[in-house]
Structure 1
């Protein structure tokens, strides 16, 4: 299962996320669920750091990516992360039981 944890600050802004795991929807290289999540996460991380030039700590490991905004009051960062959160909610509906999405206080 893919676990998508989103972090929210005391002002109710999204300030980061941690995505881990595998969907197990299909064989390696053919798993459209994993590919959908991976593509959306990388698009978001690259849009935050490269297109909007928002400072963020990004760590990529085997089966894990973590992004945390350095400035947790960034309105643009909040909206970009909200877009990913919304997209993953839709994917979790489409691929039932393969993606778990949670929002946690920071």
Structure 2
């Protein structure tokens, strides 16, 4: 199962997220759940970098591990853009969870 943790500040802003695990929906290379989650999460990180110019703290590792942390000292306009991109990511991931809930679990902290 792929586990996703979305970490929010007290004001509700997304500060970071972590993706880990494997969906095991199908054989490696044919797993549409894993591919979808990877496309959404990496696409969101790439969009943040490409559209806002900021460099989040990114950590990648074994077993599908991805951690992305957004700097806390961003100008308001940049923070709003980043949050919009991250909220779009959350909605996309929730759509995958709705349809493939046995293979993905999203937690909010």
TM-score by length of 1: 0.91
- Tell me the CA shift for residue 72 of structure 1: 6.1
Structure 1: any 5+ residue segments left out of the alignment?
none
1:99 to 62, 85, 104: 104
2-side partners of 1:6 and 1:25: how far apart? 22
TM-score (norm 2): 0.88
Q: Which runs of 4+ in 1 moved over 2 A?
A: none
**Higher strand proportion:** 1
Following TM superposition, by how much is the alpha carbon of 1:12 offset from its aligned partner in structure 2, in angstroms? Answer: 1.0
Instruction: Tell me by how many angstroms 1:51 deviates.
Output: 2.5
Alignment-derived partner of residue 66 in structure 2: 65
Task: Give 1:82's match in structure 2, choosing from 81, 87, 92.
Answer: 87
How many residue pairs get aligned? The number is 104
Contact (CA 8 Å) 1:15, 1:72: kept in 2 or not? no
- After superposition, the CA RMSD in angstroms is 1.3
Change (3 A) 1:17 1:72: farther
* Contact 1:7-1:17 within 8 A present in 2 as well: yes
